C-alpha cells in the first residue's frame, strides 16, 4: 500500500491534522506514552503517523512497525461490526441502543 494525498482518497488533510493534535494533547497530559494512527481506504493510505514513545524510560520513539499487546479486542471488533451495519443502512448512529436490546 502506498501513501497518497488525503484528498485523493476522499479525506481532508486539514481534518486529519486534528488526530496529531489530539495525540500530542494526550501525551502532554500523560494519558498516552505513544501511539500509531493509520487511515486507509481502498488500499490507499491517507494517514500514517507515529506519536511519542514506545518506551518512555529509554526515550525510544514510536515507529510505524511498533508492536502492541492488545488486552481486549471486544470494543474494536464490535465497533467495526457496527460500522458495517451502518454502511449497509441497517443501523443508524442516532438509534438508541435500547432499540436493539429488546
Positions marked catalytic: 72
Q: CB under 8 Å to 52, separation ≥6 — which residues? A: 23, 27, 32, 33, 34, 35, 61, 62
Q: Hey, CA dihedral for 38, 64, 19, 15, is it positive or negative?
A: negative
Amino acid at each position: 500500500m502506498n501513501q497518497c494525498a488525503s484528498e485523493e482518497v476522499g479525506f481532508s488533510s486539514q481534518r486529519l491534522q486534528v488526530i496529531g493534535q489530539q495525540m500530542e494533547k494526550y501525551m502532554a497530559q500523560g494519558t498516552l506514552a505513544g501511539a500509531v494512527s493509520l487511515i486507509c481506504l481502498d488500499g490507499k493510505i491517507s494517514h500514517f503517523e507515529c506519536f511519542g514513545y514506545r518506551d518512555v524510560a529509554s526515550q525510544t520513539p514510536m515507529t510505524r512497525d511498533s508492536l502492541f499487546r492488545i488486552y481486549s479486542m471486544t470494543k474494536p471488533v464490535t465497533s467495526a461490526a457496527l460500522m458495517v451495519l451502518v454502511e449497509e443502512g441497517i443501523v443508524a448512529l442516532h438509534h438508541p441502543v435500547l432499540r436493539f436490546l429488546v
